[in-house]
Each structure stands twice: as C-alpha cells, then as structure tokens.
Amino acid sequence: MNASSTFNFPNLAPARRTSHANPQPILKPLIAASSSVPEPDSDPHARKIKGSPQLTRWSRARAIRSGRKLDRAGQRTQFLEPNPPLHPSDGVSLDPRYSTSSGSDGSHDDAETTAGKSIYMVSDGTGWTVEHSVNAALGQFEHCLVDRGCAVNTHLFSGIDDVERLMEIVKQAAKEGAMLVYTLADPSMADSARQACMHWGIPMTDMLGPITEAIATHLGVLPSGLPRGAPGRSFPLTDEYFRRIEAIEFSIKQDDGALPQNLHKADIVLAGVSRTGKTPLSIYLAQKGYKVANVPIVIGVQLPKSLFEVDPEKVFGLTINPLVLQTIRTARAKTLGFSEGMKSNYSEMVHVRQELEFARRILAQNPVWPVIEVTGKAIEETAAVVLRLYHDRKHKCSMPRISKRY
C-alpha cells in the first residue's frame, strides 16, 4: 500500500542560504557536525517499525477510497524486508529525531507491521510537482502495490529552503534506507542534496534540475534559481488570472442545465446523464480558464433548444458503463438518505440502461459531438481528452496538441 505523509520543521532555526557559487563549505561542516549524534543500534535481522497512528489512518483511508479490502489483525500481509540502515563511510551517525515510526505523543499503533520501502519527497515550495511526479511513476507499479508485494511509503517535506533542514531530512532518509526525490530551484540547494546523497549512498532523483538546465540551454537564458513565492519573485494579477476567475463564476452559474440562454457564451458544453462527472469536470476545466456549461440528459425532460443552436464543435457528450453508473447512483442515493424501502428508479438497472440508451440516441443524432467514455477515468484524464479535441478543432491542428503561450 502506498501511504503518504507531510512533514515540516518549524522549530528549527533557519540557516543562511548557501551561495550559488560554492555550496561545499556549508555542506562539509554540517556533515562533520552530525558525527556527535549517537549511532543508532543496528539489527542484522529485518527490523520492524511501528507506524504512527496518523499515518495508519491516512493509509487506511486511502485503501478504502481505492476499493481495496483492509487487512485485519492476525491477517496482515507481510511486506518486503526494508533496506538495512545505511552508515556513511566516515562514521557519521544518523539523527533519529525526525523518525516517523511513532506518534507525536510517543504512542505507537496497536498493529506492528514490517516496513516497506520509503520515498522521501523534498521541495522548496508546496511540493505539488514532486508529489504528482512520484505518484505518476508509482502508477506503473500497481501490479505489486495493490497486493502489497512492493509496499511503498511516501513522505513529503515541503517548504525546505535552507541547507540545515535539508541535511536533517537526508540523514533521516539514510537511516531508513529511503530514496530521495527532490525539486529544489536553488542550484546550491540541489547540489547540496546531491552531494549529501552521494556521501551517504542514498539513491536520489532531481526532478527539476535537468529540465531547467535543458530549457536554459534552449533559450540561452540563465534561470533565476528562486522557488515560487520566494522574496524577489512577483506574480502580478494578469489578464489570465481574471479570465480564470470569470470562468469559474460562469461554470458555477451554468451547472446542471441552469441558464440555458447563456450556452452560446460557453467555451465548452458537456452533455450526459446524471452522475457521469459533468459538474466536477466543469469546475476542473474552469480552473484552467475555460467557461464550461453542462446539460443533464434525463428521460422525459426536453433538452434546451439552445443546446442545438450553439457551435456543435464545442459540445461534448459523456457516457459510462451501466454497471458502474448503477453503483455510483446507489451510493449517491444513500448519501441523500434514500432507504432501501423507498421507491425510486434512480439506481435501478432497468432505468439506468434506458436512460443511457436515451442519451445514446440523442448523441448519435448529433454526430459532430464527440462522445467520451468516462468509465474508469479520473477527472484529469477526461479533461485531457476534452481539451485535446477542443484545441484540435479550434486551431485545426494536423497533430493533436494543447497549445498555450507564455
């Protein structure tokens, strides 16, 4: 299972930033100073650590959301043996102060499990880029993550903007035998992370440095080396920002077929039966600056005339597998307080199939409308399909693309 946690170190006094020219003088004293920390006991056998109650709750919540069955006490699946603690060649010991194996109150979870592999994600900003990059890569290992054949624990450290805190994280990663993945805009910080990982033998990946260097070479311009939100970087309220705000307000007002007379003002119009994800998809696209309206297709309810009068190339139909739709509607009915004894055809399979067939005939009568199958797709995946088709039609591209000018 893939567990995730986020850490910050507010009690550590910030150290002065390293210079861009020579981070080595700062790195060496920090490494040498850590030699005074007592060496943790090493166990030649596979060690067992106890997860914190908070981390365990997050793990269980993620398992429930993904539909996996939770293991109970006495039936736990064994994880892979963890990496043994790593010790630097010069006798530098590792600081255990920031270990995540116990809760903040010193208590341990009642269930003791054998630890899996750890991935430390470090960012000088919010951590959005490194977290999503790691999650995307972990998606390639679902075949062993789902049955815990290769258990992974991810830990996000955001807002790390000085070398001292960075070294504490690197030392903890070495202690746990973790992998370090980082996005650090400051070249000196990134170089300090790289040197420390090499010193302690920690596997590492710099997610931001190589692409930044490649773009700098391509543009012939040096990067600023400043993280987002750093002093000296300003983000004025541009026209694009106000377009996004306007798009969000428009999409909220146009939700669920409201104000059909404004459909011609929309950039994108979504049509589909209930619970095909029209509303969340509309809001997601609106946050990207697109004005979106959505129209529900319901048996016995006439579709607005304006839907057939707008530019057909900006209308997109959504469909879904009937079994999946019935499951979603059943869950929705329960959240609305419908008991099993209450008469409602909303989630009955016969009605679900009839409504999908009714929608299919309407969409077939308008062949210019693309029909997107949303079964098993995340909102982001469906949005990517919509935007690719939208831009292809708008710009008459010979190759599928989503274009944007900076």
Query: Partners of 271 in the beta sheet?
Result: 295, 317
Phi, psi of 186 (to 5 degrees): -70, 120
CA distance 27 to 197: 11
Per-residue pLDDT tens digits for 240-272: 889 999 999 999 999 999 999 999 999 999 999
Mean of all residue pLDDT scores within the chain: 77
Say if CB 285 and CB 292 are below 8 A apart: yes
pLDDT class of 345 with cuts at 50, 70, 90: confident
Judged against a pLDDT cut of 50, whether residue 378 lies above it is answered with yes
pLDDT of 362 strictly over 50: yes
Rounded to an integer, the average pLDDT of 52-56 is 51
Q: What is the pLDDT of residues 67-117, one digit of tens each?
A: 444 444 433 333 333 344 444 444 333 443 333 333 334 434 333 344 689
Whether 236 has a pLDDT exceeding 60, the answer reads yes
Q: How far is CA 201 from CA 39, 150, 255, in A?
A: 17, 21, 54
Q: Which of the pair, 102 or 129, is modelled with greater confidence?
A: 129
CA distance 113 to 79: 8
Q: Which residues contact 19 (CB under 8 A, 6 or more apart)?
A: 188
Partner residues linked to 120 by β-bridges: 155, 180
Decide: pTM greater than 0.75: no
Q: pLDDT for 184-217, tens place per residue?
A: 999 999 999 999 999 999 999 999 999 999 999 9
Mean predicted confidence (pLDDT) in 333-342: 73
Cα–Cα distance measured from residue 351 to residue 361, given in angstroms and rounded to the nearest whole number? 15
What's the whole-number mean pLDDT along residues 337-345? 67
For 242-274, give the DSSP string. Answer: HHHHHHHHHHHHTGGG--GGGGGG-SEEEEEST
Burial class (CB in 10 A: 0-12, 13-18, 19+), 248: buried
- Single-letter amino acid code for the residue at 225: G
pLDDT at 395: 78
Distance in angstroms between the alpha carbons of the first and the last residue of the chain = 39
pLDDT of residue 146: 72
For residue 158, what are the contacts with CB-CB under 8 A and spacing of at least 6? 6, 8, 123, 125, 126, 127
pLDDT-based confidence at residue 339 (cuts at 50, 70, 90): low
Long-range own/partner contacts, residues 359-363 (CB < 8 A, 24 or more apart):
359/271, 359/272, 359/273, 359/297, 359/317, 359/319, 360/319, 362/271, 362/297, 362/303, 363/271, 363/317, 363/319
Q: Which whole-number Å values give the CA distances from 378 to 12, 204, 284, in the listed order?
A: 39, 29, 11
pLDDT given at position 32: 45
Q: Looking at the DSSP assignment, which residues form a beta bridge with residue 316? A: 270
> For position 336, what pLDDT does the model report?
80
Sequence-distant (6+) residues with CB within 8 A of 180 are 120, 122, 169, 170, 173, 193, 197, 202, 203, 204, 205
pLDDT of residue 342: 56
pLDDT digits (tens, 9 = 90+) for 267-314: 999 999 999 999 999 999 999 999 999 999 999 999 999 999 999 999
Residues 6+ apart with CB under 8 A from 8: 157, 158, 159
**Number of Cβ within a 10 Å radius of residue 15:** 15
- Assign 65 a pLDDT band (cuts: 50, 70, 90): very low
d(CA 123, CA 227): 9
Q: Does residue 16 carry a pLDDT above 50? A: no
Four-point Cα dihedral 390, 396, 401, 405, nearest 10? -90
Tell me what pLDDT residue 23 has.
43
pLDDT classification of 341: cutoffs 50, 70, 90: low
* CA geometry: angle 275, 292, 336, nearest 5 deg: 25
